[in-house]
Amino acid sequence: MCKIKSSTNQESCIFCSSTNLAYNSLDLVENILSFDVDCRDCFSTTNVAFTLHDVTLKTCGDNHAVSLTDEQRERYLLSPQSCPVCQFYKDESTEIQFGTFNCDQKQGHMIGKCPSCDSSWLDSYELKDITIVDLGKLANA
Ligand SMILES: [Zn+2]
Ligand SMILES: [Zn+2]
């Protein structure tokens, strides 16, 4: 599963400001990416959700396109489970590969790669919501 990397101290616990955080695995449902963040100091858990709002083609394998058409882009932004270039989803042995999710304040980025047509692209996400899952120490106070 994907890894998550935070590049700024903005990504600190909303309760105690600790940066001693553990990021759980990514969950992609339609165009919303979410993951739980556990604080190792106050034991709270929050769920952070990002919405996909842009995609940029980085390299294109088979068909030598230099950028996505408006139609490909629109379709991908609504359902990013398939390759934006060739629409490959998955078969028995392989599926779309996503790299590390990098978040920087309210923006997030992740690179996708298609094993079928060899294209890669950059997803851009914006912070949508933060939900408190567990108050940790505060709940016991
Ligand atoms: Zn905390
Ligand atoms: Zn493809």
Report which bound ligand comes closest to the CA of 113. Answer: 2
Identify the pLDDT of residue 9. 44
Report which bound ligand comes closest to the CA of 43. Answer: 1
Report which bound ligand comes closest to the CA of 135. Answer: 1
Identify the pLDDT of residue 2. 54
Distance CA 8, CA 32 (A): 22
Amino acid at the residue 75: R
Per 3-state DSSP, what percentage of the chain is helix, strand, and coil (rounded to 5)? 10, 45, 45
Q: How many domains, the chain?
A: 1
Query: What pTM was estimated for this model as a whole?
Result: 0.85
Report which bound ligand comes closest to the CA of 97. Answer: 2
Amino acid at the residue 94: T
Report which bound ligand comes closest to the CA of 42. Answer: 1
Per-residue pLDDT of the chain (141 residues; tens, 9 = 90+): 456 676 554 578 989 999 999 999 999 899 999 999 999 999 999 999 999 999 999 988 866 767 899 999 999 999 898 999 999 999 999 999 999 999 887 899 999 999 999 999 999 999 999 999 999 988 865
- How far does the centroid of ligand 2 lie from the alpha carbon of residue 61, in Å? 8
Range of the domain at 32: 4-140
Name the DSSP class of 8.
S
- How far does the centroid of ligand 1 lie from the alpha carbon of residue 27, in Å? 22
Q: 41 burial class (0-12, 13-18, 19+ CB within 10 angstroms)? A: middle
Q: H or E stretch including 50?
A: strand 45-59
- How far does the centroid of ligand 2 lie from the alpha carbon of residue 120, in Å? 8
- How far does the centroid of ligand 1 lie from the alpha carbon of residue 15, in Å? 5
